[in-house]
Structure 1
Amino acid sequence: MEPPSYEEASLHPPPLSPAGFNIPPPPSYDASLTSPSTPPPTYGEAVGVTSTVNGRQTQPVVVVTQPPPVPVSVPYLRDSPGLVRCPYCHHTVTTKVTYLPGKTAWCLCILLSLMGLICGFCLIPFMVRGLQDAHHSCPQCGNHLHVYTR
C-alpha cells in the first residue's frame, strides 16, 4: 500500500493537536507544599489514654500474651515436624522427622528403569524429599510415633 500523495494529504484536515483540547497545566509543586503550624500529637495525646503520676503523664502498660500452642493428634502429622503430645513419655514435643524412600520412590525408580533411564537417572526419586516417606519420632524418648506415606 502506497502512502497518499501530497495533494491528497493536503485535502484532509490536520490531526488535532494537544492545544486544541484546552487542558489546563498541572499545578506547580511549590504551591502544594505547606509546612504545618504545629507538630502532630503524640500517640498518648491522640489515643487519649494517659494517667498522671507525680505530675507526669504516663502510658498504661499493656501486656499481650499468646495462647500456648495446641498439640495435634499423632495421626494428623504430615511431612513436616509437628507439635504433639507423645503417647509414651507424655511430653509435648515437636517431632523429629526422618525421610526414607517409600513405595512411591521405589515405583518411580522402577518406572524410570523400564523407560531406559538406567545410567543413574533412575536413582533421582531417592533424592527427592517430596517422594519419600516421613518417619516421625519423639526427640525426648526416641519412640516411633507415625509414618506419613506418599
Structure 2
Amino acid sequence: MYLISLNIPNERVLRYELYDGGPSTIFRITSKQQTIYVQGPPIIIQIFRDTPVRIQCQYCQAEVFTATHHENGAVTWLACLGIMLVLPLGCCLIPFFIDGTKDVVHTCPNCYQEVGKWSRL
C-alpha cells in the first residue's frame, strides 16, 4: 500500500491510498467528510519467451499473437568463444545457425513494431 497526503486550502486534507490487489489497482480517496473508492485499469505484466504470445499491442491497440524472429545475442557470442577454444576454427560458427542460442524478438504483426525481447542470458 502506498500513502499520499495532500493539504488543500480551507483546512481540507485528502488522503490517497493505493492498493495493488491483483487484477486491478484500487485508489481510496479520503477527506474529512467522505471516502471514495476508485478502481483503476488492470496492471498487466507480459512475459516473453521463445514462443509467440497473445498481447494487446501498445502501439496500434490490436489484440494479436506476436510474430517472433531470432537475432544474435550474448549467448551466441559466448558459445562461439567457447567452441573456438575447444574445437577447430570453423566450428565456432555453429551457434550462429542454432536458434537455441539466439535472443527472441517479438513484433506486432499488425504494425510491425517491436513489443518485446527475450534474452537467453
Shared topology, TM-score over 0.5?
yes
Which consecutive unaligned segments of at least 5 residues does structure 1 have? 1-72
Give the CA deviation at 1:74.
Answer: 6.4
Q: Which has the greater radius of gyration?
A: 1
Look up the match of 2:112.
142
Normalized per residue, the structure richer in strand is 2
User: Do residues 90 (structure 1) and 61 (structure 2) align?
Assistant: yes
Whether the 8 Å CA contact 1:100–1:135 is kept in 2: the answer is yes
Among the aligned pairs, what percent are the same residue? 32
| Residue from 100, 117, 135 that aligns with 2:71 | 100
Q: Verify: 1:133 aligned to 2:89, yes or no.
A: no
What code does the residue aligned with 1:131 have?
A: T
Residue 117 (structure 1) aligned to one of 83, 88, 102 = 88
TM-score, normalization: structure 2? 0.59
Q: Which residue of 1 aligns with 2:52?
A: 81
Task: Could you tell me which runs of 5 or more consecutive residues in structure 2 were left unpaired when the two chains were aligned.
Answer: 1-43
User: By percentage of residues, which structure has more helix?
Assistant: 1
1:109 alignment partner AA: C
Residues 74 and 145 in structure 1, CA contact (< 8 A), matched pair in contact too: no
Q: TM-score, normalised by structure 1?
A: 0.48
Q: Runs of 4+ in structure 1 displaced over 6 angstroms?
A: none
Q: Distance in 1 between matches of 2:95 and 2:65?
A: 27
Question: What does the per-residue CA deviation read over 1:18-60, in whole Å, with 9 as the maximum and x for residues that have no partner?
Answer: xxxxxxxxxxxxxxxxxxxxxxxxxxxxxxxxxxxxxxxxxxx
- Number of aligned residue pairs: give it: 77
C-alpha displacement of 1:117: 2.4
**What is the CA-CA distance between 1:128 and the residue it aligns to?**
1.2
Tell me how far apart the structure 2 counterparts of residues 114 and 104 of structure 1 sit (CA, whole Å).
15
The alpha-carbon deviation at position 75 of structure 1 amounts to 3.7
